[in-house]
Amino acid sequence: MAGGDRGSSEAAAEAELRRGFETLAVARPDPSAEVYEVRLNRPAQRNALSPAAFAEIPRAMALLDRLPSARAVVLSAAGPHFCAGIELGGPGNPLTAASKGADPAAAAEGLRRAILGMQAALTAIEQCRKPVIAAVHGACVGGGVDIVAACDIRYCSRDATFVVKEVDMAIVADLGALQRLPRVIGYGNAAELALTGRKITAIEAKEMGLVTKVFNSKEELDAGVAKIAKGIAEKSAWAVMGTKAVLLRSRDVTVEQGLEHVATWNAAMLRSNDLKEAIRAFLEKRKPVFSKL
């Protein structure tokens, strides 16, 4: 992309972010850090996922993917709870709308397309080239677990609880938990949570590997995750994005295929200016200054 085109694309992304969202709050809390926060912002509804949320999450992720000043993303929530899952019975619920109709085949296809659309909305978190770090507090239920599972790194406060609730609602979890959780916490743990609908504490989530660290309070969680995200954002963006891409690719293929993929990746990326700068900085005993995206 030419310099002028890149600048206009960045300006367009920033302008769209400034227009705001109905269900999210997207901001750069610390001007000195190239970190953006995406906050679920329906506290009165315990951040339940409405049709508008399913439309806005992929939009926000796509904008931050394009924005050079966003080198890491923190996904958090406003109010006392992280997410109560999918909003039930609200106006415009895609599952309710899609299941209506005289023709059962048409209704089934409409429902299938609605589910695929909601799946794609949460997969957008995973597909964002920038690392997305979940900061969870309070209750994280159903679709909230799907969101967390799509993030790259997960942290929580001591009051956090997690539950895969769908089996108690007489449905099969279909937004990613059954596909992603076994890779994060192992098949046995994922099966137990999904089949029993059991609520687990922050400590249990840490023991299972669902979260990396438990902070004592939401304030400590916010400060700790901001520090971690800033540290990641200060590294070479090409190395960070490449590491995420290779990790995701390697998750779904054999070890041999993953090694082949990273060899091909590094055949191009080992020629980057950032690598030269990292070596110079190491030899000169100073902090490296990496190139902008």
Q: Tell me the catalytic residues.
A: 86, 143, 146, 166, 174
- Residues 276, 286, 288, 258, Cα dihedral to 10°: 70
Contact yes or no for 151/134 (Cβ under 8 A)? yes
Q: Give the three-class secondary structure for 139.
A: strand
Reference 133, options 53, 190, 212, 209; nearest CA is 212
C-alpha 81/C-alpha 116 separation (Å) is: 26
Q: Residue 69 gets which letter from DSSP?
A: T
> Order of strands, edge to edge, in the sheet holding 72-77?
24-27, 35-40, 72-77, 132-136, 153-157, 213-215
